[in-house]
């Protein structure tokens, strides 16, 4: 079992986190979820392969091979366990891809989600802010 944890409670230095995430390449690919909301609307409907990561201040940027970018402000609880990469918490998460975006933000009332197509996204604040869940038989059984 692969078990690594970085930035568990107070770590928000995005440059440091980006270096750690980059060290995990090319293992970072899978179906993206943001606070429990699946990109594409269905479980494992969309794949995301991380090619690079950088950070500055409290902003972490995670790039994919298909020109997608995940922006994470004040990432906390970055981990790679088994076949799942996760960021336990963040102040805000934005995903951009080919003119489309989804954005989630922590508020006093929980996590709110919006997208550029005027649709409210349902987020679950008990779930990790960001997950990339590998396409494995075990994960498909567990999350599907």
What was the pLDDT predicted at 55?
96
User: Has residue 44 got a pLDDT over 80?
Assistant: yes
Residue 144 lies in a domain: no
Burial (0-12, 13-18, 19+ Cβ within 10 Å), 82: middle
Residue 141 lies in a domain: no
- Domains held by the chain: number: 1
Domain residues for 114? 3-136
Residue 105 lies in a domain: yes
Residue 46 · residue 102 · CB < 8 Å = no
User: Has residue 3 got a pLDDT over 60?
Assistant: no
Instruction: Please give the Cα distance from 17 to 63 (Å, whole number).
Output: 14
pLDDT, averaged across the chain:
86
Residue 30 corresponds to which tokens in the numbers above?
């899978």
Q: How wide is the angle at C-alpha 60 spanned by C-alphas 17 and 132, nearest 5°? A: 80
Q: What are phi and psi of 6, to 5 degrees?
A: -140, 145
Write out pLDDT tens, residues 118-140: 677 889 999 999 999 999 999 98
What was the pLDDT predicted at 41?
73
DSSP 8-state secondary structure symbol assigned to residue 74: S
């Amino acid at each position: 079992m692969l078990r690594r944890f970085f930035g568990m409670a107070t770590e928000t230095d995005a440059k440091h986190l980006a270096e750690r995430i980059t060290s995990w390449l090319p293992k970072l690919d899978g179906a993206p979820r943001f606070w429990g909301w699946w990109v594409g609307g269905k479980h494992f409907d969309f794949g995301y392969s991380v090619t690079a990561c950088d950070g500055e201040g409290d902003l972490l940027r995670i790039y994919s091979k298909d020109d997608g970018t995940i922006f994470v402000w004040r990432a906390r609880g970055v981990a790679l366990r088994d076949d799942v990469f996760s960021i336990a918490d963040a102040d805000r998460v934005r995903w951009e891809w080919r003119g489309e975006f989804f954005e989630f933000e922590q508020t006093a009332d929980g996590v709110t989600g919006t997208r550029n197509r005027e649709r409210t996204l349902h987020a679950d604040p008990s779930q990790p802010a960001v997950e990339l869940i590998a396409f494995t038989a075990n994960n498909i059984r567990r999350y599907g």
